[in-house]
Structure 1
């Protein structure tokens, strides 16, 4: 089972509570029914007579927006309901189907699901807080570098670990290509050019580790350590060959542990890149 930070679980809980509030505001404009009364043929909600349609639409948009965030909590907790012929269904993500013919569930099903999610999240928060008090630190994917986790989150929470890693790896490259204005080059040459030694060329900014090149920690192995810029170039190439290419060109699924290790490697690489200086070539050919 995936491990989530207390902060992340509390944010999910707040998202569910916002959904419940928006849902009940909308329900004040609706006539509520159930599956038995609708005989499985009709909607289980419909607008009350005399309602201002503009107001109803605005309330529906609020429900839709909050449902998008709250549905993530359903995925994390697994609180779906079984629907004959369809299997497990998320009533929060599919709340609008109550207004359609042959509605799959009723408003009470949505409420019950939200309450179940809140209960499970509450227990998960208690467990996460208790675990944080132990001597062994936990691993929270949501605490990875923002670029990495933002790209991976949607796939990670649905247990698509290979896709999560692939999306994270590509997102980091897109992030830096956009930031440096280098959408004119493929991924591998981009990293090779951006992290290579030497001065930047016009239209080809570079990332350089800050500090004096003569400092002992950036000299050759005889006088200190290998230049970190050169090491970053090797790290980019290694991750591209061993992680990005594998997750892109194969369909072999990763285990949760394997996925975490690969995301952590990219997160560390992303944080190193954030510490680098961006060097541009001026019109005179000098870096700035």
Structure 2
């Protein structure tokens, strides 16, 4: 189910189509390349010779306006792409990055994202129609933590809820293990070591609640840091064992309610982690 109305989702579908139209009009004035030929150094588009610069600028403004309207559709559907060093980005909002050196977005990325968004919106529209007919209260999964929804959305919108939960769990672990350089341990051990109380060891950074220790409020928070860390450790370990591992080793499909409850748990956990600071062992240099 979705908390968005059929009318709203249909309008999002229309603005994505409008973006596609404006984008292709502009692309007619551009030389198109891709990541392979750009080699991570060059733009993936550049203006064709002989084009009227004023006309090109007007077309760019039209694309920018259409992209602004279509950006919400990406957020609703979770159709982000993963870019090394940047995380999840929206190719539609960032279409202009194609013109820059070391472009991380290509025309194919933009077109593929627009097509994916439209496909997911069609599925959400069908669900919204069913919800309106049933009168059952709905929720908005797109309001989950961005990392969680981006990983789960593709499978969730095709009703593969077990896979959606598994992918969300994996994405959260991979994201933090990559950030902390801890690909040397499995997920459960990683969370236990990363969120346990005490000082970090060499090569094993930890996450801790932030704040200036001289601030009275922060002092109070620091007094609760150890139980908070223990709670986070238990939450991470519990989620990993009872949710991720179970959904990985069974083929029994989750109900919609079961799936959203599990995704919500990961979303809440992800937001807690976002508020923590990374602590390294003394004299250890952060790369």
Q: Is it true that 1:140 corresponds to 2:140 in the alignment?
A: yes
Structure 1 residue 69, shift from structure 2 partner: 2.7
Gaps of 5+ in 1: 27-58, 79-119
Distance 1:74 1:243 in 2: 29
Gaps of 5+ in 2: 28-106
1:68 paired to 2:116: yes
Residue correspondence of structure 1 range 179-194 to structure 2 within 5 A: 179-194=179-194
C-alpha contact (below 8 Å) 1:217/1:226 kept by paired residues: no
- The normalised TM-score by structure 2 is 0.58
On the 8 A contact 2:166/2:248 being kept in 1, the answer is yes
Contact 2:209 2:222 (C-alpha < 8 Å) held by counterparts: no
1:88-237 matches, within 5 Å, as 138-211=138-211, 215=219, 227-237=227-237
Contact 2:13 2:118 (8 Å CA) reproduced: yes
2:15 counterpart residue number: 14
Relative distance call for 1:262 and 1:8 in structure 2 (3 A) is farther
1:133-169 Cα shifts (integer Å, max 9, x gaps): xxx9852100000010000000111111111111001
Matched positions, count: 199
Flag the 1:260–1:164 CA change in 2: closer, same or farther, 3 A: same
CA RMSD of aligned residues (A): 4.0
The 3 A distance-change label for structure 1 pair 60 and 264 is closer
C-alpha distance in structure 1 between counterparts of 2:148 and 2:118, whole Å:
22
Can you list the C-alpha shifts for 1:166-192, whole angstroms capped at 9, x where unaligned?
100110001101111111221111111
Greater share of helix residues, 1 or 2?
2
Q: Is the 8 A contact 1:75 1:158 kept in 2?
A: yes
Counterpart-to-counterpart distance in 2, 1:195 and 1:168: 20
Alpha-carbon displacement from aligned partner over 1:41-61 (angstroms, at most 9, x marks no partner): xxxxxxxxxxxxxxxxxx999
* Residue in structure 2 matched with residue 92 of structure 1 by the alignment: none
The one-character-per-residue Cα deviations of 1:46-98 (angstroms, maximum 9, x if unpaired) are xxxxxxxxxxxxx99986663333222233335xxxxxxxxxxxxxxxxxxxx
Work out the CA distance in 2 between the residues paired with 1:140 and 1:8: 13
Deviation at 1:252, TM superposition (A): 1.1
Bigger Rg over Cα: 1
2:281 is equivalent to residue 281 of structure 1: yes
Distance 2:108 2:188 in 1: 45
